Structure 1
Amino acid sequence: MCDKTAQQASGAQRRSRPCNGLETVQSNVFQDSQLLENLNLANNNINIGFEETSLALRTLPGLRFLDLSENKLTDEMASTLLQNLSSLEYLNLSGNLLQRLDETSFRDLHNLKDLDLQRNIMFEIDGAFGSNPKLQRLNLAFNYLPCLTDFHMTQLVVLNASYNFIEWFISRQELNDTFQLQTLDLSNNRLFFFPFLPTRSKLQNLYLSHNILRFYEHLWDENLHGDISSLDTLDLRGNQVDYFPDGFIGKMPTLSRLRIGTNCLETLHFSTEQFSSNLYELDISNLTYVNLSRNDLKELPFGLFYSLPRIHSVDLSYNNIGICLPDETNINSSSITECLQWNNIDSLRQLHLKGCYLETVPDSAFAGLSLTHLELSDNPGIDVQDSLQCLSRTLQHLGLGNTQTRDIDLSHFQSLKSLNLSRNSLYRLPKSLYDIDLKVLDVRGNRLSTIPSGEAHTLASKLQTIFLSGNAFNCCQTEWFRIFEGAKTINMVAINEHLGSALQLSLSCVRNETNLHNEYLISLCLSHIVFCWCHYST
Structure 2
Amino acid sequence: MPVHGLTPILLCLLPVWIIPSPAWGHPQLSECRLIQRTALCNDAKLSSVPPGLPRNIEELQLNYNHLQTLQDVSLLRYPSLTSLSVACNSLEKLESNTFQDLSLLESLNLANNNLYIGYPETSQALKKLPGLKVLDLSENKLEDEMAATLLQNLTSLEYLNLSGNLLQRLDETSFSDLNKLKELNLQRNIIFEIDGAFGSNSKLQRLNLAFNDLPCLIDFHMTHLVVLNASHNFIEWFISRQDLNDTFQLETLDLSDNKLLFFPFLPSHSNLRNLYLSHNRLRFYEQLADNATLPNSTTTVEFYNLRKNVSNVTAELWDDSLHGDISSLEILDLRGNQVEYFPYGFIQKMPFLSRLQMCTNCLESLNLTSEQFPGSLYELDISNNRLKQVVADEGTLTVLGNLTYFNLSLNDLDRLPSRLFSSLPSLRAVANAPGTVR
Give the TM-score, by structure 2 length: 0.75
- 2:110 alignment partner in structure 1: 41
Task: Give the distance between the partners of 1:181 and 1:62, measured in 2 at CA.
Answer: 29
* 2:375 aligned to which of 262, 279, 285: 285
* 1:317 aligned to which of 404, 409, 426: 409
- 1:351 alignment partner in structure 2: 430
* 1:114 aligned to which of 156, 180, 183: 183
CA contact (8 A) 1:310 1:347 kept: yes
CA contact (8 A) 1:317 1:356 kept: no
Distance 1:323 1:341, change over 3 A: farther
**How much does 1:307 deviate?**
3.6
RMSD between superposed Cα atoms in Å: 1.5
Deviations 1:241-286 (A, max 9, x none): 01000000000000000000000111224554x52xxx4xxxx221
1:98 aligns to what SS in structure 2?
coil
2:89 aligns to what SS in structure 1?
coil
**How much does 1:171 deviate?**
0.3
Larger C-alpha radius of gyration, 1 or 2?
1
Distance 1:308 1:271, change over 3 A: closer
Task: Give the distance between the partners of 2:413 and 2:167, measured in 1 at CA.
Answer: 50
CA contact (8 A) 1:101 1:124 kept: yes
Task: Give the distance between the partners of 2:108 and 2:398, measured in 1 at CA.
Answer: 56
Judge which range, 214-223 or 139-148, deviates more: 214-223
CA contact (8 A) 1:319 1:356 kept: no
Task: Give the distance between the partners of 1:253 and 1:302, measured in 2 at CA.
Answer: 18
**How much does 1:323 deviate?**
5.0
* 1:233 aligned to which of 331, 334, 345: 331
Give the TM-score, by structure 1 length: 0.61
- 2:285 matched to 1:216? yes
Q: What amino acid is aligned across from residue 193 of structure 1 in structure 2? A: F
1:53 aligns to what SS in structure 2?
helix
Judge which range, 287-296 or 203-212, deviates more: 287-296
1:258 aligns to what SS in structure 2?
strand
CA contact (8 A) 2:212 2:233 kept: yes
Judge which range, 292-301 or 51-60, deviates more: 292-301
Q: What amino acid is aligned across from residue 31 of structure 1 in structure 2? A: Q
CA contact (8 A) 2:276 2:332 kept: yes
Task: Give the distance between the partners of 2:434 and 2:318, measured in 1 at CA.
Answer: 34
Task: Give the distance between the partners of 1:164 and 1:135, measured in 2 at CA.
Answer: 21
Task: Give the distance between the partners of 1:355 and 1:190, measured in 2 at CA.
Answer: 34
- 2:200 matched to 1:131? yes
**How much does 1:312 deviate?**
1.2
CA contact (8 A) 2:369 2:392 kept: no
Q: What is the 5 A alignment of 1:29-428?
A: 29-217=98-286, 218=289, 219-270=317-368, 272=370, 274-275=371-372, 279=373, 284-303=374-393, 305-322=397-414, 329=418, 341-358=420-437
**How much does 1:220 deviate?**
2.6
CA contact (8 A) 2:359 2:383 kept: yes
- 2:70 alignment partner in structure 1: 6
Q: What amino acid is aligned across from residue 422 of structure 2 in structure 1? A: N
1:268 aligns to what SS in structure 2?
strand
Task: Give the distance between the partners of 1:16 and 1:255, measured in 2 at CA.
Answer: 43
Deviations 1:125-150 (A, max 9, x none): 11000010000000000000000000
Q: What amino acid is aligned across from residue 349 of structure 1 in structure 2? A: R
CA contact (8 A) 1:306 1:342 kept: no
Deviations 1:491-527 (A, max 9, x none): xxxxxxxxxxxxxxxxxxxxxxxxxxxxxxxxxxxxx
Structure 1 unaligned regions, length at least 5: 330-339, 360-538
Aligned-pair identity (%): 62
Structure 2 unaligned regions, length at least 5: 1-47, 50-66, 290-316
Equivalences, count: 338
1:101 aligns to what SS in structure 2?
strand
Q: What amino acid is aligned across from residue 291 of structure 1 in structure 2? A: D
CA contact (8 A) 1:64 1:89 kept: yes
Q: What amino acid is aligned across from residue 191 of structure 2 in structure 1? A: M
Q: What amino acid is aligned across from residue 6 of structure 1 in structure 2? A: L
Tell me which stretches of 4 or more aligned residues in structure 1 moved more than 4 Å: none
Q: What is the 5 A alignment of 1:506-521?
A: none
Q: What amino acid is aligned across from residue 403 of structure 2 in structure 1? A: I
Task: Give the distance between the partners of 1:137 and 1:344, measured in 2 at CA.
Answer: 42
CA contact (8 A) 1:321 1:356 kept: no
